[in-house]
Structures are given as C-alpha cells and as structure tokens.
Amino acid sequence: MNGAAPLDTLGMWEATVALPEQLSGALGAANDAFAGLATETGATVRSVAALGLGTGGAACAAAAALTAPDLTVPFWVGRGSALPAFVDESTLVLAVSSSGRTEETLTAAEKAIERGARVVAVGGDEGGGLAGLAARAGLPWCPVAPGGATARAALGATTVSLLVALSRVGLRPDDSQPIAAAATALARRRDALLGGSAAPALLARRLGRTIPLVYGSAGPAAVAAHWWKAQVNLNAKAPAFAATLPDLIHDELAGWGQSGDVTRQTMSLVLLRHAGEAPHTAAQFDAVRAATDEVMADVFDVLAEGDDDLARFFDLTLVGSLVSLHLAAREGVDPGPVPTVDEAQAGTLRF
C-alpha cells in the first residue's frame, strides 16, 4: 500500500503476499513428507474423502475441483465430524486442518483410522492436535503453516500438499511442473497487484461499504468465490456472500426481482471470470449481469490470469485476499484477530 502501513498486528499482509513462496515451498515439503506413499497403492484406492473446515475445507474443495478432469475415483469433501458409510480400507482420507486443532476434522480422522482407511494428515504444526494424532497412529504428516492467525492464509501450501499426496498414491499425474510454473507466474503477478493504485486497492475502494456478492462458475472459480467471501468475513470483519454458476440461475437469480431500491444501496456483485470457462458460461454471466445490473450498487468483473486452472485459481484467490485486506485497511480494521470466531470455536461466545 501507499502511505502509512495498515494496522496489522499479526502479519496477515505478509502471509498473504507470500503465496508464490507458499506454493514452491509446499511442493518440496510435501514431496518429502509423502515420499513413503507407495505409488502402487493407487490401484487399491477406490475413493477419496477429504475432511476440513475453514482454510482446510477450502483446500479440500480446491483439490477436488482441480483434479476433477482426470481423477478416476470419486472425491468426496466433508465439512464436519460425520464420516460417510463408504469410507473403508479402500478409501484415501485426507485430513486437513490449517490450525492443526480443528475438532471436527480430528474426530472424523479418528473414525477413519478405526475403519482402516488410508489416512494422510496435512495441517498446522502446533504440537498435539492433528500432528499428535498422526504421530500416534503412524500417519503420513505434512506440516503447512505455523500457528496463529496467519495459518488461515496457508491455502496455497495446503492445496499443493493435497495434490502431491494424490499424485504420490498414483491417482493422478505429477503436478510439480504446473505448480512451479504457477508459483513463478504469481511472483511476477504479485508486483502488479500491490500498491494503492493496483487493481485490488481500486476494487476495494469501489466496493466501499457495500456487501460483496461473489459469483464464480462451477469448478476452481466457485471455490475461489467462496474464498473471497471468507476473506472479507475474516480480514475486513464484514459480511460477504458467494454463489456458483450455473446453480444460482436455477434459484438465486429469481431473488433479485424485488427490493432493488434497497439492494442497490447495499450490495455489489463481483463476477470471477477466467479463460477456461465452458463455452456456455459466458452467456450465463451475461444473463446474470442483465438481471442484476439495476439492483446492485455496481457489478465488477475480475479476470484471472494464468495458463491453466491451477494458476488461474491461485491468481483469483490472491486478488480476493488482497481486496479483503484493503477493505480492512480502509476502515482501520486489524485483519488478524478474529475474537468472535475464536470464542465460538472454544464454546465461550456469549449473547
């Protein structure tokens, strides 16, 4: 940013702009951590179950979206402690917690171990928690983030670790080259995204105090849209919402038929676009714009850069994270602390 440094007691700006280094660092760390995963076991894996919440859940959803075109077994993503009945010794379970302490993920992982599933653990290494469970059960374990608030910025490292695990068990090709290429491209892109006159700062300025509604097409862009929402919630301490095309044109779009005099004062629409969209997706976005143009304060298009889905996904997530940090800075909000979330997770939140 230009001028005085924004309030940031826990280092969220630094953690966010380190995304390119996250990708390259995680690639080496995950290859080392999962070196013992035998490639031939892929033939015995008939399903994948990924378990996580928050950043861990976003990484699970990203891995599922990014591998959908070539993964030949079902990939289920869970966001709680429940474990579906199909999980057994033929299931690869990816247990993910960026903090290392997500209670629901730990519970689900313990159930998976009891059923004899092949469990791989990825997360923040604060001692105990998921790291302790992995050590006690002899699970492959890949640390991806230090403790504290900045662990929630480890989406890149967490997603890369999951992709490497899937490759190591033989379920998909090696992603090392595209991950390294994405890290290089993002390092160049980052320079253009920083500063008070760059695109994220300008978008934050135009969003102002309106509520962002972020739409992305099914696949990696949809995961990115929900990441934008979460980053505005956590960093700017402000409301935001997300939805997915084409699903939203079957219901949500009808909801903009009334109350335009209210919503145009309070809401802005952000459309996440990329070069890999399906041919009919552009027409769907056109329909969304036509239906919402008069009921939103403004409608913004954000176009991802990158040569493949992997690079475009991380490009969109970096832009969204930076927009949320600029929104926080404009209001003098410290992006790091999230006392309401901490209290709710600890069961100490009082109303």
pTM: 0.96
Tokens of 78: 């869970």
Question: Do 107 and 170 belong to one domain?
Answer: yes
Is residue 235 in a domain?
Answer: yes
Together in a domain, 226 and 250: yes
Is residue 146 scored above 90 in pLDDT?
A: no
**Same domain flag for 123 and 96:** yes
pLDDT tens readout for residues 181-240:
999 999 999 989 998 899 999 999 999 999 999 999 999 999 999 999 999 999 999 999
Domain that holds residue 155: 12-181
Alpha-carbon Rg for the chain, nearest whole angstrom, is 20
Q: Both 221 and 249 in a single domain?
A: yes
- Which among 136, 151, 181 is the end of a domain? 181
Asked if residue 156 and residue 27 are part of one domain, the reply reads yes
In a domain, 318, yes or no: yes
The answer as to whether 5 is a domain residue is: no
Task: Give the pLDDT confidence score for residue 347 in this predicted structure.
Answer: 78
Residue 167 and residue 212 share a domain? no
CA-based torsion, 287, 288, 291, 294: positive or negative:
negative
The reply to whether 310 and 164 lie within a common domain is no
Total domains in the chain come to 2
The answer as to whether 52 is a domain residue is: yes
Instruction: Work out the average pLDDT over 242-248.
Output: 97
Confidence of residue 333 (pLDDT cuts 50, 70, 90): very high
Residue that finishes a domain, picked among 181, 215, 230:
181
The reply to whether 169 and 73 lie within a common domain is yes
Q: What is the pLDDT of residue 2?
A: 52
Which CATH number fits the domain that encloses residue 124?
Answer: 3.40.50.10490
SS3 (DSSP) at 295? coil
Query: Distance between CA 37 and CA 166 in Å, rounded?
Result: 10
pLDDT given for residue 278 in this prediction: 87
Residues 249-303 pLDDT 10s = 999 999 998 888 999 999 999 999 999 998 899 999 999 999 999 999 999 999 9
Alpha-carbon gap, residue 155 to 157, rounded angstroms: 6
Contact 88, 34 (CB under 8 A): no
- Residue 114 Cα distances to 83, 89, 135, 252, angstroms: 11, 10, 15, 41
Residue type, 112: A
Indicate if 174 and 49 belong to the same structural domain: yes
Q: Are residues 167 and 25 in the same domain?
A: yes
